[in-house]
Amino acid sequence: MHSSQLQRSLISLQTLAWKETHRYLRIWVQTLVPPAITMTLYFVIFGNLIGPRIGPMEGYSYMEYIAPGIIMMAVITNSYANVVSSFFGAKFQHHIEEVLVSPTPNYIILLGYVAGGVGRGLLTGLIVTIVALFFTRLPVNNLPITISVVFLTAVLFSLGGFINAVFARKFDDIALIPTFVLTPLTYLGGVFYSINLLPDFWQGVSMGNPILHMVNAFRYGILGQSDIGIVTAYGLILGFIVLLGSISLWLLHRGTGLRS
């Protein structure tokens, strides 16, 4: 009996994950092309035009230094955007009820949506990485750290997008967090500069920005340079995943935002 339940759960997970994957691949012109164009503009403007005037950053050319941050920015925004738009769309069109009334466990529902967000985030990150290679070299100092950090970051922001979608009541609500929280934190997260350039006070303030830790951990995986401790970054990322995952499951259990 237990084996049968496990098999049904795996089939449910596979179905949800494929549905989410097919959703963003079907409209790839809207989901995958715009991030590639936007990030190309970052490389052209900040790397080619502004970079030579700024000069080397922490021993690397400015283009090399910002490339990991731009890749991570694409992963963060697309992982978040995929889940928040998909789950809110399911609420808005009232077909999420079909999943909720099925015997599918809540953790499988959550994993299915997160899988879609992670897939889009990683695929977008790969596309931006290929774009980056036209502008600079990416030596990859530590492959396990590079892969694990980008994967865990995609998981984290997929969970964040899920929570945003649960509480959203209208389409405008799914844009509030990306606009007023994610974008400022990303731009202040060490993507385009080293926090060592900041006064001591603002360095301390910056350390409270979780995206700073993710960007620097990924930069360490690529270049071998980081403004923060890698162990601290992993601890923070894993801690947030556990926290947001627990909140997501609790919200699903209570039916918050799903039951009128």
CA 86 to chain centre: 15
Does the residue 185 lie in any domain?
A: yes
Residue 8 belongs to what domain range? 2-254
- Find residue 60's DSSP bridge partners: 57
Do the domain assignments include residue 104?
A: yes
260 is a domain residue:
no
Summarize pLDDT for 131-189 with one digit per residue, the tens.
999 998 898 899 999 999 999 999 999 999 999 999 988 888 888 888 888 888 888 88
Would residue 22 count as lying in a domain? Answer: yes
* Predicted local confidence at residue 98, as pLDDT: 82
DSSP 3-state assignment of 229? coil
What pLDDT does residue 260 have? Answer: 52
DSSP type of residue 154 = H
Mean pLDDT of the chain: 89
Report which of 150, 144, 107, 133 is spatially closest to residue 10, judged by C-alpha positions: 107
What does the block give as tokens for 173? 């609500």
d(CA 189, CA 151): 18
Query: Is 259 part of a structural domain of the chain?
Result: no
From residue 109, how far is each of 98, 209, 238 by CA, in Å? 12, 30, 21
**Per-residue pLDDT tens for 86-124?**
999 888 888 888 887 888 889 999 999 999 999 999 999
Does residue 196 lie in a domain region? yes
| Rounded CA separation 68/217 (Å) | 10
In a domain, 97, yes or no: yes
Q: Which residue has the tokens 């993507």?
A: 191
Count of domains forming the chain: 1
Which pLDDT value is given to residue 158?
Answer: 96
The answer to whether residue 117 is domain-embedded is yes
